C-alpha cells in the first residue's frame, strides 16, 4: 500500500473516502465503518483513515477525501456479511491501539483481503499479517508495562480523603483500554492516572476521562513510596525471580518512577537463600499468617505467589460472621464474583443459595469463601473463560484459606468440589468416596465434602437429577450435624 503522509497521517494517493475517527483508540467505530465500506466493495487504496486533530484542513467531516460531495456509501440491503476470523478480531483489537498512523489502513487492507482469503491470518509469511501481529504484540507489551510500572503517590483532597495519583508514559493508545484493570485492582481507592495521551480518574464508583497531562501535573516523591516499597518486598517471590527477564522487562525509562527499584539488588541477593529455604520446607515462605480478616483481605490483594494473581482480576475475600458455625468453601471466584468482589454471586452461587434454603441452612449465618482467591481464566475474544486452578495454585492459596479458618473458627467446614477439598486437606480426594461422612481436620474441625454446584449446572436430564439428589442429601446431612453442634 503506497501512501503519502499528511500531518502524521498516512493517506493513500487515490483516496476517495475519508473516515474521521472520533478517537485514536476507537476500534468499534473503525469496525463499523470498515464493515460498511467492505460491503460497498470500496478497495483499500480508496479510503483514508484520519485520526482526530491531524488533518482537519485537508478533509472535511466523514466523506470524500478530495473534492466532490459524496458521503460514505451505504451498503445495499442484500450485501453479503463481512467475514472476519476470530484471530483477526483478537489481533485487530490490540493493533488498533498502536501509535502507528498507518494501522487503520492496514487493518482495512487485511480485512479486505480476508473476504477473498479467509485463512489469511494463518499465513505467517504474509507481510501485512506479520506487521499486524507486531503491532498487537507491541501494544500488549505496553499494557503489561503499564500494569507493572504505574506507581501511585498520595495527595490529600480538601476534604481530607486520600487520592492516589500516578504518572505514566505509554507508547500507544492504551490508557482507556487498560482502565478496567486498575479499576479492579484498586477498586476501593480513589485514583487518577495521568498520561500525555489522556487521563483516567476513578472515584470508587465511576470512571471519568480527562485531557492529556504533563509530568508536572502529577505529584512526585511522597510517603506512599514507602508503602510501595513494603508492598513490593511483600509480593516479591524469589522462586519466580528471573534476573535476565526482569531486567529486560524493566527498561531504564521506567526506573525513575519506581521507588522500589532501589530494593532490587538487595532482594536479588537475598532471593537465593530464601528460595533454598522454601524448597527445603516444601512451601512458600509467606512470613507471618495474618491474624484478622482485614489483614487477610489486604494480603490477598497484594498476593502474586502464583500466576493467577497476575491476571486481570482482583482478589475476592470470603464473607460472613466471625465465629460462624459453618464455613462453606468453593473453588475460586468466577467472572461475576471477580466483578462484584464477593464470593458466590453468579449462577453457581444462585444454585447454591437455592439448595441451602431447601436444606434449611441460612447462608447469611455461614462464612462463605473460596480455596483460591483470584479468578483464573483465559480470554476468548472479549470473554473470560473459567479455568480450573492447578494443584500447586490451590496449595499456594491454602495459606490464606487457613488464615481465614483460624480467624473465623468454624466447627464445620463444607467443601464444594475437589479443589475446595484439596485446599482444606492439602491432598486430592475423590468426592464420590469422601461425601456423606465427616473427615477430621488436624485441629479437630469437621470437614464435609460434596460436589460443586457448577458441576450440577453442567449436567442435564437424568444425570442432573441424580447428582442434584445427592447434593441435596449432603446438605441435609450437614444441616442435621449443624443442629447437633449448636445444641
Ligand atoms: N464458584 C466458586 O467456586 N466460587 C465462587 O465464588 C463462585 C463460583
pLDDT digits (tens, 9 = 90+) for 197-255: 999 999 888 999 999 999 888 876 553 455 455 444 544 454 445 555 555 555 556 65
In a domain, 292, yes or no: no
pLDDT at 260 over 60: no
Atom of ligand 1 nearest to the CA of 368: 6
**Cα 333 to ligand 1 centroid, rounded to whole Å:** 4
Averaged pLDDT score across all residues of the chain: 85
Tell whether 347 and 482 lie within a shared domain: yes
For residue 332 and ligand 1, the question of a CB distance below 6 A is answered with yes
Tell whether 98 and 169 lie within a shared domain: no
Tell whether 172 and 230 lie within a shared domain: no
pLDDT over 70 percentage in the chain: 80
Confidence of residue 278 (pLDDT cuts 50, 70, 90): very low
Tell whether 164 and 111 lie within a shared domain: no
For residue 349 and ligand 1, the question of a CB distance below 6 A is answered with yes
pLDDT at res. 157 = 73
**Cα 329 to ligand 1 centroid, rounded to whole Å:** 8
Tell whether 451 and 307 lie within a shared domain: yes
Which of the listed residues 80, 101, 136 is the one where a domain comes to its end?
A: 136
**Cα 372 to ligand 1 centroid, rounded to whole Å:** 9
In a domain, 2, yes or no: no
**Cα 89 to ligand 1 centroid, rounded to whole Å:** 30
Which of the listed residues 136, 157, 177 is the one where a domain comes to its end?
A: 136
Tell whether 128 and 167 lie within a shared domain: no
**Cα 350 to ligand 1 centroid, rounded to whole Å:** 10
pLDDT at res. 153 = 81
pLDDT at 464 over 70: yes
In a domain, 141, yes or no: no
Interval 393-414 mean pLDDT: 96
Tell whether 42 and 170 lie within a shared domain: no
Between 447 and 53, name the one with better pLDDT: 447
Ligand 1 binding pocket mutation candidate from 314, 332, 335, 421 (most atoms within 8 A of CB) = 332
Atom of ligand 1 nearest to the CA of 452: 3
Tens of pLDDT, residue by residue over 19-43, are 999 999 999 999 999 999 999 999 9
Tell whether 328 and 420 lie within a shared domain: yes
Between 141 and 381, name the one with better pLDDT: 141
Between 254 and 166, name the one with better pLDDT: 166
pLDDT at 44 over 50: yes
Tell whether 131 and 254 lie within a shared domain: no
In a domain, 411, yes or no: yes
pLDDT at 265 over 70: no
Tens of pLDDT, residue by residue over 67-104, are 433 588 999 999 999 999 999 999 999 999 999 999 99
State which residues form the domain around 84.
17-136
In a domain, 69, yes or no: yes
Tell whether 194 and 212 lie within a shared domain: yes
- Whole-number Cα distances in Å, 283 to 60, 138, 239, 256, 297: 65, 36, 10, 34, 21
Tell whether 325 and 438 lie within a shared domain: yes
The total number of structural domains in the chain stands at: 4
Tell whether 213 and 243 lie within a shared domain: no
In a domain, 379, yes or no: yes
In a domain, 286, yes or no: no
pLDDT at res. 221 = 59
In a domain, 364, yes or no: yes
Tens of pLDDT, residue by residue over 301-324, are 888 888 898 888 999 999 999 999
**Cα 335 to ligand 1 centroid, rounded to whole Å:** 9
Amino acid at each position: 500500500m503506497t501512501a503519502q503522509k499528511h500531518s502524521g497521517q498516512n493517506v493513500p494517493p487515490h483516496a476517495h473516502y475519508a473516515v474521521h475517527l472520533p478517537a485514536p483508540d476507537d476500534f468499534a467505530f473503525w469496525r463499523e465503518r470498515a464493515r460498511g465500506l467492505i460491503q460497498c466493495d470500496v478497495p483499500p487504496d480508496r479510503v483514508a483513515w484520519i485520526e482526530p486533530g491531524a488533518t482537519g484542513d485537508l478533509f472535511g467531516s466523514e466523506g470524500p477525501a478530495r473534492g466532490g460531495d459524496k458521503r460514505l456509501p451505504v451498503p445495499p440491503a442484500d450485501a453479503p456479511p463481512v467475514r472476519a476470523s476470530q484471530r483477526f478480531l483478537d489481533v485487530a483489537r490490540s493493533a488498533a491501539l498502536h501509535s502507528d498512523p498507518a494501522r487503520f489502513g492496514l487493518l482495512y487492507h487485511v480485512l479486505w483481503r480476508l473476504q477473498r482469503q479467509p485463512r489469511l491470518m494463518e499465513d505467517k509469511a504474509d507481510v501485512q499479517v506479520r506487521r499486524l501481529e507486531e503491532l498487537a504484540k507491541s501494544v500488549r507489551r505496553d499494557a503489561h508495562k503499564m500494569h507493572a510500572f504505574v506507581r501511585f503517590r498520595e495527595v490529600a483532597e480538601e476534604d481530607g480523603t486520600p487520592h492516589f495519583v500516578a504518572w505514566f508514559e505509554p507508547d500507544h493508545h492504551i490508557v482507556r483500554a487498560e482502565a478496567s484493570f486498575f479499576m479492579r485492582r484498586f477498586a476501593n481507592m480513589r485514583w487518577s492516572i495521568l498520561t500525555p495521551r489522556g487521563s483516567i480518574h476513578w472515584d470508587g464508583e465511576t470512571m471519568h476521562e480527562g485531557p492529556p497531562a504533563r509530568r508536572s501535573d502529577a505529584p512526585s516523591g511522597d510517603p506512599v513510596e514507602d508503602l510501595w516499597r513494603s508492598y513490593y518486598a511483600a509480593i516479591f517471590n524469589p522462586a519466580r525471580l528471573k534476573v535476565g527477564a526482569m531486567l529486560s522487562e524493566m527498561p531504564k525509562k521506567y526506573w525513575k518512577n519506581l521507588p522500589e527499584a532501589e530494593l532490587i539488588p538487595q532482594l536479588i541477593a537475598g532471593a537465593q537463600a530464601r528460595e533454598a529455604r522454601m524448597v527445603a520446607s516444601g512451601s512458600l515462605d509467606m512470613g507471618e499468617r495474618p491474624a484478622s480478616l482485614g489483614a487477610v483481605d489486604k494480603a490477598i490483594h497484594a498476593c502474586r505467589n502464583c500466576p493467577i494473581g497476575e491476571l486481570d482480576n482482583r482478589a475476592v475475600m470470603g464473607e460472613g460472621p466471625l465465629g460462624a458455625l459453618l464455613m462453606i468453601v468453593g473453588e475460586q471466584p468466577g467472572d461475576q464474583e471477580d466483578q462484584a468482589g464477593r464470593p458466590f454471586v453468579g449462577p453457581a452461587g444462585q444454585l447454591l443459595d437455592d439448595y441451602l434454603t431447601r436444606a434449611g441452612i441460612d447462608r447469611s449465618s455461614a462464612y462463605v469463601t473460596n480455596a483460591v482467591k483470584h479468578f483464573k481464566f483465559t480470554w476468548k475474544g472479549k470473554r473470560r473463560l473459567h479455568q480450573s486452578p492447578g494443584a500447586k495454585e490451590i496449595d499456594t492459596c491454602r495459606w490464606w484459606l487457613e488464615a481465614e479458618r483460624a480467624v473465623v473458627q468454624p466447627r464445620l467446614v463444607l467443601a464444594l468440589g475437589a479443589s475446595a477439598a484439596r485446599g482444606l486437606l492439602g491432598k486430592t480426594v475423590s468426592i464420590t468416596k469422601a461425601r456423606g461422612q465427616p473427615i477430621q481436620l488436624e485441629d479437630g474441625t469437621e470437614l464435609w465434602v460434596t460436589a460443586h454446584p457448577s458441576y450440577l449446572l453442567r449436567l442435564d436430564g437424568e444425570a442432573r437429577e441424580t447428582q442434584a439428589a445427592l447434593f441435596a442429601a449432603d446438605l441435609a446431612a450437614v444441616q442435621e450435624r449443624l443442629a447437633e453442634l449448636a445444641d
